[in-house]
Amino acid sequence: MNHTKMPMTRLAISLAGALALLQPVAASAAKAPVWPDVVVQLHGAGKAFIVDTKTDAVLAALDTCKGGTLGSTTPDARKVYVSCAADGEKDVVVIDLNGKNVIKRLATGSRPKHGLVSPDGKLVGVDHWGLSDGKLRVAFIDAGSDQIVKSLDIDVAGKPVGVTSMHNSWSPDSRYFFTMDRVDNRLVVVDTRDFSVRTVAAPSAPHYPAISPDGKELWLVHEGNVTPGFLGARGMQMIMGRQPDGSIPPGVVVFDLTRADMPEITRFDMPLIGEEVVEAHHGNFTQDGKYFMLLNRGPGKDMRGREVAFYDAKTKKLVHRLSTASNGIGHTYNSPDGRHAVVTNYGNNVISVVDVKDMKTVKDLVIGKGRMGHVAFTPDGKWGYVSNAGDGNLWKLDMSNFTVAKEIVTGGGQAGGGQALNVWTNVFEELPRR
């Protein structure tokens, strides 16, 4: 495998063998995921709380692992796979939702980050925050038997600075698994028919791969590497391309998944109007597929980013941007009807509810004692459940008037952020499309 850095367009050609048979699969062609009557709140201190959405009762408090803050539900809603990302951890923990118990622990590699179940429910792709024997580990679990069917150890040329991977996604036909290499700053593509691997260079540290709703494109969010104080010193309204000081602004690279060589369609930088710090975090499509929402979180512990940038999914052009009362923003969770997005964060205890059609904030809510991380909804969209990292509890939102309906005591005052999840999702801020 050649790890020599070269232009994106040249490296994209190397994907021809792995992607020759890739065809977009319409979301409607797949069997609709089952939406369970529970929400699972993952807690960083090593718990998974199963909450009944009909009564808001805590049905079970299961022991998982340190750093077990992210998970993935199977499309049939029978199991949840929890990744143990803390230092020294190696396991993926399997929860049986029907039995409400832990049924398996599998050692996959150093610090599993975010195992993701394939759309057909057959495989769980697991990336890792740590290197295994000096290599980037990508493991695959058979979701039927809960056995590891393949572990891929990918050579890296550089030395890791911080975590070595981040998030994943699947092609709609469940053939291709897309994950991140943050050692050499590459997109990694695994063809699960033969587990062959291809890589494509990213402009800066890759963070999030989002598949367009029609399955035809991959939008890769990269964080950028803007020098601290760069925006303030230059007074820039917009920064485009590599800067004279070597800084790379955050942005997106869009790839064509209908072509054998997965060519780059375009790339664009995130607008940074009035932002004090810079680091692109997640990006996801609206439920109707018209817009892509790109978020500025801010680098490291300096989580003051507030910008949500809306791009037209067809033209790839910026159409609007807004600043929220929430800061260190990381996620825009779509409501089931697609009308609103709930903006959660890493910086404060404020969530912002955005009207997606009008592209404006309609409500800011101060909740709990710490940052607000993740949201899960009931399928009718009446209720949202938001996790709080400061008090460790789950907060119920009335989505008809955007008010806090109830605090559900789960963490019991013990801090620990984690995901709230129920239905299967590929990109976890987007919900199944009807």
Residue 10 has pLDDT above 50, yes or no: no
Output the average pLDDT for the chain: 89
Using 50, 70 and 90 to split pLDDT, how confident is the model at 44? confident
- Are the CB atoms for 139 and 152 separated by under 8 Å? yes
Q: Tell me the C-alpha distance between 206 and 117, whole Å.
A: 21
Domain with 23, as residue range(s), is 8-421
Residue 30 has pLDDT above 80, yes or no: no
Q: Report the domain count for the chain.
A: 1
Residue 183 has pLDDT above 70, yes or no: yes
How many Cα atoms are found within 13 Å in the side-chain-facing hemisphere of 75?
17
Using 50, 70 and 90 to split pLDDT, how confident is the model at 16? very low
- Are the CB atoms for 370 and 415 separated by under 8 Å? yes
Position 71 in a domain: yes
Position 430 in a domain: no
Position 426 in a domain: no
- Are the CB atoms for 373 and 416 separated by under 8 Å? no
Position 2 in a domain: no
Using 50, 70 and 90 to split pLDDT, how confident is the model at 232? very low
Secondary structure (3-state) at 230:
helix
What tens digit of pLDDT does each residue of 216-225 get?
Answer: 999 999 999 8
Token duo for residue 105: 């622990």
Position 431 in a domain: no
Position 427 in a domain: no
Secondary structure (3-state) at 232:
helix
Residue 83 has pLDDT above 50, yes or no: yes
First to last CA, the chain: 41
**Among residues 416, 396, 417, which one has the least CA distance to residue 407?**
396
What tens digit of pLDDT does each residue of 125-157 get?
Answer: 999 999 999 999 999 999 999 999 999 999 999
DSSP tag of 303:
-
Question: For the ranges 11-15, 66-70, 292-296, which has the lowest average pLDDT?
Answer: 11-15
Q: Tell me the C-alpha distance between 74 and 63, whole Å.
A: 20
pLDDT at position 18 is 41
Q: What percent of the chain has pLDDT over 90?
A: 76
Residue 314 has pLDDT above 50, yes or no: yes
CATH number at residue 387: 2.130.10.10
Q: How large is the average pLDDT for residues 230-239? A: 42
pLDDT at position 243 is 55
240 torsion bin: left (phi>0), alpha (psi -120 to 50), beta (else): beta
Q: Tell me the C-alpha distance between 96 and 161, whole Å.
A: 36
* Three state DSSP letters for 60-129: EEEECCCCCCEEEECCCCCEEEEECCCCCCCEEEEEECCCCEEEEEEECCCCECCCEECCCCCEEEECEC
User: Cα 42 to the chain's mean position, in Å?
Assistant: 15
**In one letter, which amino acid is 229?**
G
pLDDT at position 5 is 36
